[in-house]
Amino acid sequence: MTVEAACPLTARDYKSDYKPVWCPGCGDFSVLLAITKALAEVGRPPEEVAVVSGIGCSSRVPAYTNCYGFHGVHGRALPLATGLKLTRPDLLVLAAGGDGDGYSIGGNHFMHACRRNVDLTYVVMDNQVYGMTKGQPSPTTSPEWDSALVPGGTGLRPFHPLVIALAAGANFVARSFSGDPNGTAELIVEAIRHPGFSLIEVLSPCVTFRPEEREWAKQVHPAPVEPTDDRGRAARRVLTDDGFNIGVLYRGRRRPYQPPFGQAQVEVAEFEAEFLP
Ligand SMILES: Cc1ncc(C[n+]2csc(CCOP(=O)(O)OP(=O)(O)O)c2C)c(N)n1
Ligand code: SF4
């Protein structure tokens, strides 16, 4: 059962004492601020919230909150978050990470999390690069991005996470920009309140390996159309937009997946006996 907080919570109530080790200017600072503001606005106390991640600069978020946290294996934030939510539906479960973590090694889990539509919120800090491992291209890197590691660029078509999410069954899809922490917080609040699997793609510059991403501040703009509940229409829009439309892009009506809880068919001792010599 949800325990109402005795007095209004603030973003500070969700921050841990650990000081982020991100590079000065990294977009992830503002995303952390947005997440803590959103949690305060939703009002569930930190002990009723679990923040789950894989590995990457962006995946350090759980350590910087004082909610329950799980800093897991690279690419495995979503199976962890899914299992947790299914067994503890009373918790607010938020997964966070980067484009490498979520769309490369974790790409298969991403699709199936969308398909399962468990009531989770997934915040992806997309900087179109592997920041933590020093600048390799990620699935969302543009083909012509020239770097010392891949001279002349990859020449590969980028993965389009929002279209994949829509096709696979995500129930809420939004895009935001880290330079607007208040707007990002509002989207995260809406995503948390929306039933089912919600994806928020946050354009979050990696100022160290992609300094040109500082220009995103001049390129982002509000989505020119109202959100739709028609995923075909939403998919067409995000396929043809400029990649800088900010706001809610899709609000679906799928019922979240939540199998009956607490009706185990097998006693734990019985299950253990199968594995004991
Ligand atoms: C199984 C496994 N493979 C590879 C790595 C190395 N690795 C750590 S973080 C990372 C990519 C991080 O990129 P992203 O998720 O985009 O996060 P960012 O650092 O840019 O925030 C990789 C490849 C690992 N830790 N574990
Ligand atoms: S390497 Fe990039 S993503 Fe990682 S902390 Fe530095 S600026 Fe942020």
What are the tens digits of pLDDT across the range 141-198?
999 999 999 999 999 999 999 999 999 999 999 999 999 999 999 999 999 999 999 9
Residue 9 lies in a domain: no
Q: What are the tens digits of pLDDT across the range 82-135?
A: 999 999 999 999 999 999 999 999 999 999 999 999 999 999 999 999 999 999
Distance between alpha carbon 267 and the CA centroid of its chain, in Å?
35
Does residue 93 lie within any of the structural domains?
yes
Domain that includes residue 233, residue range: 18-273
Residue 6, pLDDT score: 63
Which is it for strands 121-126 and 92-98: parallel, antiparallel or unpaired? parallel
For residue 225, is pLDDT > 70?
Answer: yes
Ligand 1 atom, smallest distance to 58 CA: 21
Beta-strand ranges (E) seen in the chain are 49-53, 68-71, 92-98, 121-126, 172-177, 198-203, 221-222, 245-251
Q: How confident is the model at residue 265 (pLDDT cuts 50, 70, 90)?
A: low
If you take atom 16 of ligand 1, which residue's CA is the nearest one? 100
Atom of ligand 2 nearest to the CA of 21: 5
Number of domains into which the chain is organized:
1
With helix as H, strand as E and coil as C, how does 216-265 read?
Answer: HHHHCEECCCCCECCHHHHHHHHHHCCCCEEEEEEECCCCCCCCCCCCCC
Ligand 1 pocket: which of 130, 203, 204 to mutate (most atoms within 8 A of CB): 130
Q: Is there a domain that residue 2 lies in?
A: no
Question: Integer distance in angstroms from the first to the last C-alpha of the chain?
Answer: 40
Q: pTM for the whole thing? A: 0.94
Check residue 1 and give its pLDDT: 41
Residue 124 forms part of a structural domain: yes
**Considering the domain boundaries, does residue 3 fall inside one?**
no
pLDDT tens digits for range 234-263:
999 999 999 999 999 999 999 999 887 655
Residue 1 domain flag? no
Ligand 2, atom 5, lies closest to the CA of 22
CATH number at 68 reads: 3.40.50.970
Residues ≥6 apart with Cβ < 8 Å to 65: 14, 15, 16, 32, 35, 36, 39, 46, 49, 51
Average pLDDT of the residues in 43-60 = 98
Query: How far, in Å, is the centroid of ligand 2 from the Cα of 62?
Result: 16
Lowest mean pLDDT, pick from 5-14, 26-35, 58-67 = 5-14
Q: How large is the average pLDDT for residues 15-36? A: 98
Q: Assign residue 152 a region (left: φ > 0; alpha: ψ between -120 and 50; beta: otherwise).
A: left
**88: its two tokens:** 């503890």
Please check whether residue 72 is in contact with residue 38, taking contact to mean a CB–CB distance below 8 angstroms: no
Atom nearest to 28 CA in ligand 2? 8
